[in-house]
Amino acid sequence: MGTVTRLGITLGDPAGIGPEIVAAALATAPPAWLSRIVVYGDPVPLERGARAMNVRLPSVEVVGNGLGDTAIPGRPDERAGAAQAGYLEAAVSAARRGEVGALVTAPISKTWARRGGFAFLGHTEMLAERLAARDVVMMFAGPKLKVALVTVHCPLADVATDLTTERVRRVVELLAESMVRDFGHAAPRVGVVGLNPHAGEDGLLGDEDADIIAPALAAPCPPAQLLGPLVPDAAFRDAVHGRYDALVAMYHDQGLIPVKLVDFDESVNVTLGLPIVRTSPDHGTAYDIAGKGIARTVSMQRALSLAVEMLARREPPTG
């Protein structure tokens, strides 16, 4: 018999829109998966979120710590910060024990989580350390674009010096692997976007494309087809029109501006390189609208549905 693993959802900051978007995602979750979902968060804010969104919560397991029960929407504090950190710690501990094969994480506040005792910059850094992942990659998956980033929160002035052939290659490999395993492409076409205008124009506009990026593409990466370095101003349009199945971008805004332009509401943040599936909505805590029942829920719903699809593809067949 194959192993049936569970899927965890973390509530995020109970003072933000996390309770609302999680409640909405649960209300539209595949019924067959409800018995396999566990929510790491307190029931009081989750039920409050369901009322705000006017949805009915299905019966799922909820594992909380009580710290979020007093949270007030739009008014974050240290207690809410400790609550969201605790939800994440409980979920990751379950993943380490092999109880959870996928995590869908609602937004946390880096500021308030840190004040509540969270020692990491964000979800990704914490997951990488706790799950002993040597290399992780931030990918954004939408209906029209799938883009992985080589550098993430790096000042633009430092991008060229932070790029290495080894890092570009590793991102390419992890993206190609995910396109086959998680997205069902038998032979994905992976486009690698250049750093400089016109991909360097044969060195006239910079040497990084020829000296750093091109060598990363020299070796085959079967079954993927690697293409690049691509001219940046044309690559994303070509991808939208189906020329590439996924792209590798060199820096944050190079990849995120087109993603948010064409897939803003439906883009999902996926962490590649972890031993588990991890997805999250592509937005923050939105304190200004928390508790009002007007949060846009599409990204969280897509994060859950994508996690279900990815976990289903990774599971061994039953029988």
Reported as a single tens digit per residue, the pLDDT across 81-121 is 999 999 999 999 999 999 999 999 999 998 999 998 888 87
152 and 29 housed in the same domain: no
For residue 145, report the phi and psi dihedrals to the nearest 5 degrees.
-130, 140
C-alpha distances (whole Å) from 93 to each of 68, 88, 235, 314 are: 19, 8, 40, 20
Mean pLDDT over each residue of the chain, to the nearest integer: 94
Same domain, 138 and 268: yes
Report which of 174, 152, 186, 191 is spatially closest to residue 272, judged by C-alpha positions: 174
Q: What percent of the chain lies above the pLDDT cut of 90?
A: 88
Residue-wise pLDDT for 162-195, tens only, equals 999 999 999 999 999 999 999 999 999 999 999 9
Per-residue pLDDT at 122:
83
Q: How far apart are CA 182 and CA 137, in angstroms?
A: 15
Confidence (pLDDT) at 318 = 59
Q: Which of 30, 28, 16, 161 is nearest to 81 (CA)?
A: 16
Q: Which of 241, 256, 272 is the last residue of a domain?
A: 272
- Shared domain for 245 and 222, answered yes or no, is yes
Band the pLDDT of 2: cuts 50, 70, 90: very low
Q: Are residues 129 and 278 in the same domain?
A: yes
CA distance 12 to 271: 17
Segment 245-264, tens digit of pLDDT: 999 999 999 999 999 999 98
User: What are 5's two structure tokens?
Assistant: 């693993």
- At 38, which amino acid appears? V
CATH number at residue 235: 3.40.718.10
Average pLDDT over residues 210-223: 96
Same domain, 141 and 268: yes
Give the pLDDT confidence of 5-40 residue by residue, as tens digits: 899 999 999 999 999 999 999 999 999 999 999 999
* Tens digit of each residue's pLDDT (9 = 90 or more) over 120-168: 878 888 999 999 999 999 999 999 999 999 999 889 999 999 999 999 9
If pLDDT is split at 50, 70 and 90, which confidence band does 200 have?
A: confident
The runs of H, that is alpha helices, within the chain are 18-27, 43-53, 78-96, 110-115, 123-130, 156-162, 165-181, 208, 214-216, 232-240, 252-262, 298-314
Please give the order of strands across the beta sheet that includes 137-141.
61-63, 37-40, 6-10, 100-105, 277-281, 268-272, 137-141, 146-149, 246-249, 189-193, 225-230
Are both 37 and 23 inside the same structural domain?
yes
Residue 1's pLDDT band (cuts 50, 70, 90) = very low
265 and 283 assigned to the same domain:
no
Strand, coil or helix: 48: helix
285 and 240 share a domain? no
* pLDDT above 80: residue 206: yes
Q: What confidence tens digit (pLDDT) does each residue in 282-301 have? A: 889 999 999 999 999 999 99
Domains of the chain: total: 2
Q: What is the pTM of this model?
A: 0.93
Q: 306-318: per-residue pLDDT in tens? A: 999 999 998 876 5
State residue 80's pLDDT score: 95
3-state secondary structure of 141: strand
What pLDDT is stored for residue 239 in this prediction?
97
Within this chain, do residues 211 and 224 fall inside the same structural domain, yes or no?
yes
Quote the domain boundaries for residue 175: 134-272
Q: Which of 240, 257, 272 is the last residue of a domain?
A: 272
Bridge-based pairing state of the strands 61-63 and 268-272: unpaired
Whether residue 51 has pLDDT greater than 50: yes
Q: Are residues 20 and 93 in the same domain?
A: yes
Asked whether residue 245 falls in the same domain as residue 284, the answer is no
**What is the spatial distance between Cα 306 and Cα 190, in angstroms, rounded to a whole number?**
20
Instruction: Tell whether 44 and 107 lie within a shared domain.
Output: yes
Q: Residue 282 gets which letter from DSSP? A: S
